[in-house]
Amino acid sequence: MENKSPKGVRLVNITKIYQDPKTKKDFAAVDNVSLDIAPGSFVTLLGPSGCGKTTTLRMIAGFESPDDGQIFLGDDAINELTPNKRDTAMVFQSYALLPHYNVFDNIAYGLKLRKLPKDEIKKKVMDMLELVELSGMEERMTNQLSGGQQQRVALARALVMQPGVLLFDEPLSNLDAKLRVTMRTEIRKIQQKLGITAIYVTHDQAEAMSISDEIILMNKGKIAQKGTPQEIYYKPKSEFVADFIGEVNFLEGTVKSSEGENCVVDVNGTEIKAESYGDLKNGDKCKIVIRPESVELADTGAIGGEILISTFMGAYQYYQLKCGDTVLKIHDYNPRGHKIYQAGEKAYLSFENSTLHIL
Q: What does the buried/exposed string (b/e) look like for 294-321 if buried means 16 or more CB atoms within 10 Å of the residue's CB?
A: bbbbeeeeebbbebeebeeeeebbebbb
* 13 and 150 fall within a common domain: yes
Q: What is the pLDDT of residues 136-169, one digit of tens each?
A: 888 899 888 888 888 889 888 888 888 899 999 9
> Of 169, 204, 234, which residue is a domain's last?
234
Sheet with 26-37: strands ordered across: 26-37, 9-19, 68-73, 76-77
Report the percentage of the chain scoring pLDDT > 90.
49
Among 110, 95, 207, smallest CA distance to 153 is for 95
- Provide the pLDDT for residue 332: 93
Residue 6 has what DSSP assignment? P
The phi-psi region of residue 29 (left if phi > 0; otherwise alpha if psi is between -120 and 50; otherwise beta) is: alpha
| 245 is a domain residue | no
* 133 and 194 fall within a common domain: yes
Residue 341 has what DSSP assignment? P
pLDDT at 355 over 60: yes
| 203 is a domain residue | yes
* 145 and 78 fall within a common domain: yes
CA angle 50, 231, 323 (to 5 degrees): 85
Sheet with 214-219: strands ordered across: 88-91, 165-169, 197-202, 42-46, 214-219, 222-227
Per-residue pLDDT band for 232 (boundaries 50, 70, 90) equals very high
Residue 141 has what DSSP assignment? B
| 51 is a domain residue | yes
Looking at residue 335, which CATH number applies to its domain?
Answer: 2.40.50.140
Q: Are 232 and 225 in contact (CB under 8 A)?
A: yes
| 46 is a domain residue | yes
* 129 and 38 fall within a common domain: yes
Looking at residue 160, which CATH number applies to its domain?
Answer: 3.40.50.300
> Of 208, 234, 260, which residue is a domain's last?
234
> Of 170, 199, 234, which residue is a domain's last?
234
What is the domain count for the chain?
A: 2
- Provide the pLDDT for residue 207: 92
| 242 is a domain residue | no
Q: What is the pLDDT of residues 172-189, one digit of tens each?
A: 887 888 888 888 888 898
* 229 and 255 fall within a common domain: no
* 170 and 259 fall within a common domain: no
- The residue type found at 149 is Q
The phi-psi region of residue 62 (left if phi > 0; otherwise alpha if psi is between -120 and 50; otherwise beta) is: left
The phi-psi region of residue 46 (left if phi > 0; otherwise alpha if psi is between -120 and 50; otherwise beta) is: beta
Structural domain of 283? 250-358
pLDDT at 206 over 60: yes
Question: Strand, helix or coil at 54?
Answer: helix
Cα–Cα distance between 253 and 23 in angstroms, integer?
40
Cα–Cα distance between 291 and 234 in angstroms, integer?
9
* 300 and 223 fall within a common domain: no
* 293 and 224 fall within a common domain: no
* 190 and 329 fall within a common domain: no
Dihedrals phi, psi of 358, to nearest 5 degrees: -110, 130
For the full predicted model, state whether its pTM sits above 0.95.
no
Helix intervals (H) in the chain: 53-61, 103-113, 118-131, 147-159, 177-194, 205-211, 229-234, 239-244
Q: Are 359 and 287 in contact (CB under 8 A)?
A: yes
Measured in whole angstroms, the distance separating CA 278 from the mean position of its chain's CA atoms is: 23
Dihedrals phi, psi of 182, to nearest 5 degrees: -60, -45
Mean pLDDT of the chain: 90
Cα–Cα distance between 296 and 312 in angstroms, integer?
15
Residue 86 has what DSSP assignment? S
* 200 and 72 fall within a common domain: yes
- Provide the pLDDT for residue 3: 56
Cα–Cα distance between 130 and 42 in angstroms, integer?
22
pLDDT at 1 over 70: no
pLDDT at 2 over 80: no
* 266 and 127 fall within a common domain: no
| 3 is a domain residue | no
Span 217-241, average pLDDT: 94
| 312 is a domain residue | yes
* 262 and 125 fall within a common domain: no
CA angle 295, 300, 302 (to 5 degrees): 70
| 16 is a domain residue | yes
Question: Strand, helix or coil at 80?
Answer: coil
